[in-house]
Amino acid sequence: MAFEGLADRLQNTIQKIRGKGKVNEADVKEMMREVRLALLEADVNFKVVKEFVKKVSERAVGQEVMKSLTPGQQVIKVVKEELTALMGGEESKIAVASRPPTVIMMVGLQGAGKTTTTGKLANLLRKKYNRNPMLVAADIYRPAAIKQLETLGKQLSMPVFSLGDQVSPVEIAKQAIAKAKEEHHDYVLIDTAGRLHVDEALMGELKDIKELTKPDEIFLVVDAMTGQDAVNVAQSFNEQLGLTGVVLTKLDGDTRGGAALSIRSVTQTPIKFVGLGEKMDAIESFHPERMASRILGMGDVLTLIEKAQANVDEEKAKELEKKMRTASFTFDDFLEQLGQVRNMGPLDELLKMMPGANKIKGLNNLQIDEKQISHVEAIIKSMTKEEKTHPEIITANRRKRIAKGSGTSVPEVNRLLKQFEDMKKMMKQMSNMQQKGKKKGGLKLPFNPFQ
């Protein structure tokens, strides 16, 4: 996940000040020197760093912190608030035109990920907002760019408007909107060619498209790995076109994400979405506060809960909870639960949203091998019905058969059986605790997203 390097450095710095009963100016100065370096190393624009350090320092040595009982905690709170403010404060929404279609123009440098993002965004509009978008292939310069959008459209079963690469992008945009009205599409996403912000001719073309289509949103697509130049690019596009939002891509890499922290504060343009992978559903709304929380190692439980709610069937979860309580949990249930968790996304990403998870030794560089989970699934699927409900009947011979059937080894089967046994024991203990707890006023299961 992006930001990790930055998060590590900031958290180490913060650790030093957290428990302090007294914080003086020298402490703050020392800390801010570290913060400054951490931000610079993360590609945050140097002007933004300067401003940020100044603001935090002022507030940190001010009354609100020095007078408090836990000044160390207060300093961290100030850092978090300013970090959130830097990234834009509130989550921002996508526009809806009063008279459809809503027109969205995608612009940016070459290779930022405009075409992929156009596909993802359309997919999100349909899945999350129940919209009926149309894609427009207006990149007539890069070889096969139109083909790329058409392929994505096919994958998503979504219409793509194209007139080939011999018609001007302005004309394509014009005809596309007429067509969208005719076919009652409520969103039109125009994928434009990548261009340098200093290329006057091509920037002029974008201005023409804007003039003609009167877009409700102009999104600048920015590669999250961009260095100090990110703000210049954003500023230049903003001055020439008037951006309404930024989409940051490739945030699933290990970039420290300085661009994310700089762009908003320099251009006053909010970051609206982030791209987190190559698949068509790897896009999320951008939440500044949650991001700040993640950077400072406070976890992102909200996103985790949202993911759980979107992917876990509530009825089934309740049933599962009951089974856990009565300890009648079987391998079938286990399989089902595994499937639901997997639907939420890569496990290592999920783990990193847990508060304090990055402080657990070894977890930081953990790459959970999704293959291993497939092995577990294969083992369970190689069991008979009876074995799944009554694992105690699994003898040595049966273990051999299961290992063979699942293409794994006997030790692997043994390990899973042992783990399952331990899990059941733990559930029993927990439900006992809960029963006792209920009499004394309720103690809940440690993790249940619906409570």
Partner 1 sequence: MSFFKRLKEKITKQTDTVTEKFKDGLTKTRDNFSSKVNDLVARYRKVDEDFFEELEEILIQADVGFDTVMELIDELKMEVKRKNIQDPAEVQGVISEKLVEIYNSGNEASSELNIQETGLTVILFVGVNGVGKTTTIGKLAHKFKSEGKKVVLAAGDTFRAGAIEQLEVWGERVGVDVIKQDAGSDPAAVMFDAIQAAKSRNTDILLCDTAGRLQNKVNLMKELEKVKRVIEREIPGAPHEVLLVLDATTGQNAMIQAKTFKEATNVSGIVLTKLDGTAKGGIVLAIRNELHIPVKFVGLGEKMDDLQEFDAEQYVYGLFADLVEKEELEEQ
**Which one among 259, 263, 271, 350 touches partner 1, defined by CB under 8 A?**
259
Residue whose CB is less far from partner 1, 229 or 422: 229
Largest CA distance in the chain: 76
**Which one among 35, 83, 145, 261 touches partner 1, defined by CB under 8 A?**
145
Compute the CA torsion angle 124, 126, 131, 132 (nearest 10 deg).
120
- Residue 196 engages partner 1 in binding (rule: CB under 8 A): yes
Distance set, CA 397 to CA 87, 177, 381, 389, 394 (Å): 60, 68, 17, 18, 8
- Residue 118 engages partner 1 in binding (rule: CB under 8 A): no
- Residue 113 engages partner 1 in binding (rule: CB under 8 A): yes
**Which one among 210, 256, 294, 399 touches partner 1, defined by CB under 8 A?**
256
Q: How many beta carbons lie within 10 A of that of residue 340, not counting itself?
A: 16
Return the range that interacts with partner 1 (CB under 8 A); candidates 57-65, 96-104, 112-120, 264-272: 112-120
Region at 130 (left for phi over 0; alpha for psi -120 to 50; beta for the rest)? left
- Residue 226 engages partner 1 in binding (rule: CB under 8 A): yes
- Residue 157 engages partner 1 in binding (rule: CB under 8 A): no
Question: Contact 276/283 with Cβ under 8 angstroms?
Answer: yes
- Residue 143 engages partner 1 in binding (rule: CB under 8 A): yes
Residue 124, H or E segment: helix 114-129
Residue whose CB is less far from partner 1, 88 or 258: 258
Return the range that interacts with partner 1 (CB under 8 A); candidates 14-22, 68-76, 246-254, 300-308: 246-254
Rounded distance between C-alpha atoms, residue 196 and residue 175, angstroms: 26
Return the range that interacts with partner 1 (CB under 8 A); candidates 82-90, 136-144, 171-179, 380-388: 136-144
Rounded distance between C-alpha atoms, residue 412 and residue 401, angstroms: 13
Measure the CA angle with vertex 256, ends 57 and 279; round to 5°.
140
Q: How many beta carbons lie within 10 A of that of residue 381, not counting itself?
A: 13
Contacts of 224 (CB under 8 A, 6+ apart): 2, 248, 249, 250, 251, 253, 255, 257, 259, 260, 274
- Residue 180 engages partner 1 in binding (rule: CB under 8 A): no
Residue whose CB is less far from partner 1, 53 or 380: 53
Q: How many beta carbons lie within 10 A of that of residue 51, not counting itself?
A: 15
Least distance (Å) from partner 1 to the CB of residue 115?
8
- Residue 297 engages partner 1 in binding (rule: CB under 8 A): no
- Residue 229 engages partner 1 in binding (rule: CB under 8 A): yes
**Which one among 254, 281, 313, 422 touches partner 1, defined by CB under 8 A?**
254
- Residue 228 engages partner 1 in binding (rule: CB under 8 A): yes
Least distance (Å) from partner 1 to the CB of residue 48?
11
> Cα(first)–Cα(last) distance of the chain, in Å?
28
**Which one among 68, 132, 151, 285 touches partner 1, defined by CB under 8 A?**
151
**Which one among 40, 85, 298, 344 touches partner 1, defined by CB under 8 A?**
40
Enter the tokens of residue 108.
């940016």
- Residue 200 engages partner 1 in binding (rule: CB under 8 A): no
| Residue numbers at the binding site for partner 1 (CB under 8 A) | 40-43, 46, 109-113, 115-116, 142-152, 155, 196-198, 223, 225-230, 232-233, 250, 252-256, 258-259, 278, 367
